[in-house]
Chain A
Amino acid sequence: ELKVEQNPLFLSMQEGKNYTIYCNYSTTSDRLYWYRQDPGKSLESLFVLLSNGAVKQEGRLMASLDTKARLSTLHITAAVHDLSATYFCAVDIVGKLTFGTGTRLTIIP
């Protein structure tokens, strides 16, 4: 059974700092998604990573995928308060998404 683990589960960071969220998964896949969820809201797609070595960037967020290590990272640069949310990675195996545990990110002024 596919296992998808994120760490850390909770992250408080100061504005302006950099940090990385890690997503490890247990079965070979070359399709991985990152989603954002604000409290009480739906999931918003951030990135789609479709091959080994894929790197995508949007604003202060950058995601990468290493399929050989079965690892994806979501890097936050110079965090701002608006980035406070829960971030999920999700691994795609023949159209079925298995979500990670989520990382609740709080940006402190």
Chain B
Amino acid sequence: DTAVSQTPKYLVTQMGNDKSIKCEQNLGHDTMYWYKQDSKKFLKIMFSYNNKELIINETVPNRFSPKSPDKAHLNLHINSLELGDSAVYFCASSQGDLYADTQYFGPGTRLTVL
């Protein structure tokens, strides 16, 4: 059983397009996250939601908009894609918020913007 799943696994698109990445967790966790891993493998948090409420919003262009329809899902929509958005995007989940337990990561979505 997959704990944290993401779709799609690979996404290749042209500059200027709008795309979405979906994330679902079946761990019963109440906090979910989006991370970006760049070509140098550097990982940085983008957003975090606890029980559908935004609790972490890093300095991310407003072209990126997370949406959490329920606490098991956290989607990431990206408008007007740019070359610099090419990266691997990881979703993660954990139990708790300010003093969260271990974060469990999804398989990642490799986004390539041409």
Contacts and interface: CB of A to CB of B under 8 A. Distances in A.
Do A and B originate from a single complex? yes
A95 B105 contact: no
A33 B103 CA distance: 9
A94 B99 CA distance: 6
Contacts of B104: 45
Contacts of A68: none
A97 B103 contact: yes
A95 B100 contact: yes
B48 A43 contact: no
A84 to B, nearest CB: 15
Instruction: Determine chain A's interface SS by DSSP, over half rule.
Output: strand
Interface in B33-48: 41-45, 48
A101 interface: yes
A93 to B, nearest CB: 10
A45 B43 contact: no
B42 A99 contact: yes
18 contacts: A31-B99, A33-B103, A37-B41, A41-B107, A42-B90, A43-B43, A43-B92, A44-B105, A45-B102, A48-B101, A48-B102, A86-B41, A95-B48, A95-B56, A95-B99, A97-B103, A99-B43, A102-B42
Interface of B: 31, 41-45, 48, 55-56, 90, 92, 96-108
